[in-house]
Structure 1
């Protein structure tokens, strides 16, 4: 008998943006076929056989690496959450423009590749390097700045040289799929996934701040609805959580139900998940499963014994080791980034 299977949820077709069915997935690794897809442009057409990455800028020995050269270097594995900065955007009130992501612009798996610092050491960075710019092969018209652009992002030097910032060639033990950055993709743990540039084309060391549109216009928080007052860049992930079961507006029976989900953060690690059944008046601690890595989400469980019929709202909040806690209402911003309001579902209980 064929078992029913979940599907990716389409948010747009061109460019393709598809959401992971996060509520129907369990475990520390997202299978490739369920990894969410986020694109600004159409997919580039690339071949690993002729693929090259050029490193230039403020370096002593500019160099071009082939795909096979990079694959032959000593590699390391990094298990990490990748979350789109617009994940959960659909929940902002007042509503904002952008892809209508709910909870599934989020996936996790094991990436294998070369420490970025190894490549930078090979070309010899100059003393005045401040940032490293990463250019992808994907390109097209920007929604917010007139003109044609490649997708480009920069990292401050300390983030670029973090031991777990890698140029990845594999995901879950196999070559990265084309739709997720094949042949090579940057992976930056703890940062929102716009930093993990796909289809890597060029790496450039610069001595000032990068000013491309995906750095200085997009992927910034704009707290004011009209002006740029208070604008600041999107960087590391907020503390966040999702209830995977029960589903929102479920109808259940009296008895014991296992409320479950995941929680993650871009600073430190998840230390506590709490559940409220009375709109935040009181909280009960959920059981946290062990993390698989310092960058992975934590699965949590909460046994809920229901003895009365009626309607209930289940609210969940997560805390991390840096002292952050999910807010009841997140900071509104007009581009809809970084939503991390407490996760909630509504349930009706029948006899």
Structure 2
């Protein structure tokens, strides 16, 4: 009798709006299959109409233009492997606890995105000399609990990041049109930044001369280091250096003998150069083997380590990553009251029996 294929599922955090984690501990492919891509939404999914295939660029530009989906397909394109990580990934690990979706470790996925560089579109419209930020608005909208009225999901990028050659208006994921739940038909892709910047269901681009102060720019996606005040607040931007132990799972029971520990590491600054493993709760560290992907500057890095479990007992296994800029994954994440940017050592507890 043939045994059935056993496959993982997304982990549901909320249904309306839909928020689901990728089964990150069971993904061994460099490219996350569509059905395992994590889903992060603020509102119900938007209705896709013919208007959804138009993208307008206006504001402080010399020639306001509207591009059709087909126009973008005919433009010079670029294809890149990019990690997308929700800035709230691992929020459930913060202590003291914080409010919000209690993501564990699966609000992260990696795909091959194809699209037209944003700066090519902006060259066609032209920018005024006083331009400061570029605002991106999606088709998704709804109500907030803290403000009256309805809001579109909208965020801005500083001019320098918007004009980076790898900031894309994407229309394809893993060789196919972007799936509906990942932003079809058009999505902004901003490598190295947390994924709130990669606006889905993109409808308009507006160039402005001032700072954009929408609620998803100046209220959410801001680090608030103080519990009861806004002192020291800073915007959430670049992905922190990070790693995760995929196997073994936390609180696993193992046998004595040889075990392969493995996982992934990633960063928004440079690339991963080193991953270290501790078997004794951080007292001693040893090098893991890392598997790089040349030519993919925005992709995650697989790592592995062979552990000869010597004797029965309980062990605390940790991983920490270092990137090419010199940033090292810290023993504790910087607490902030909205729970963004968690990147403390990945830790699992196992018992050898």
Give the TM-score taking structure 2 as reference length: 0.97
Counterparts in 2 of 1:44-83, with a 5 A limit? 44-47=46-49, 51-83=53-85
Instruction: Give the Å deviation of 1:176.
Output: 0.3
Q: CA RMSD in A?
A: 1.0
- Does structure 1 conserve the Cα–Cα contact (< 8 Å) formed by 2:78 and 2:115? yes
- Does structure 1 conserve the Cα–Cα contact (< 8 Å) formed by 2:58 and 2:207? yes
Q: Provide the secondary structure at the position in 2 that maps to 1:118.
A: helix
- Does structure 1 conserve the Cα–Cα contact (< 8 Å) formed by 2:52 and 2:201? no
What is the CA deviation profile of residues 269-318 of structure 1, one whole-angstrom value per residue up to 9, with x for unaligned ones? 11100011122111001000012510001000000001201111101111
Which stretches of structure 1, 4 residues or more, deviate above 6 A after TM superposition? Answer: none
Counterparts in 2 of 1:5-20, with a 5 A limit? 5-20=7-22
1:122 aligned to which of 121, 124, 134: 124
What is the CA deviation profile of residues 47-66 of structure 1, one whole-angstrom value per residue up to 9, with x for unaligned ones? 46862111000001101111
Which residue in the other structure is 2:191 paired with? 189
What is the CA deviation profile of residues 19-42 of structure 1, one whole-angstrom value per residue up to 9, with x for unaligned ones? 000000012100000000000000
2:302 aligned to which of 293, 299, 304: 299
- Does structure 1 conserve the Cα–Cα contact (< 8 Å) formed by 2:170 and 2:189? yes
Counterparts in 2 of 1:94-243, with a 5 A limit? 94-243=96-245
1:345 aligned to which of 319, 344, 348: 348
Q: Provide the secondary structure at the position in 2 that maps to 1:182.
A: coil
In structure 2, what is the Cα distance between the partners aligned to 1:290 and 1:322?
A: 16
Which residue in the other structure is 1:336 paired with? 339
In structure 2, what is the Cα distance between the partners aligned to 1:253 and 1:312?
A: 12
Q: Provide the secondary structure at the position in 2 that maps to 1:6.
A: coil
Which residue in the other structure is 1:31 paired with? 33
- Does structure 2 conserve the Cα–Cα contact (< 8 Å) formed by 1:187 and 1:197? yes
- Does structure 2 conserve the Cα–Cα contact (< 8 Å) formed by 1:48 and 1:67? no
Query: Residue 50 and residue 205 in structure 1: after superposition, are their counterparts in 2 closer, same or farther (change >3 A)?
Result: closer
In structure 1, what is the Cα distance between the partners aligned to 2:351 and 2:313?
A: 6
Work out the number of aligned pairs and report it: 350
Residue 345 (structure 2) pairs with residue 308 (structure 1): no
In structure 2, what is the Cα distance between the partners aligned to 1:179 and 1:338?
A: 24
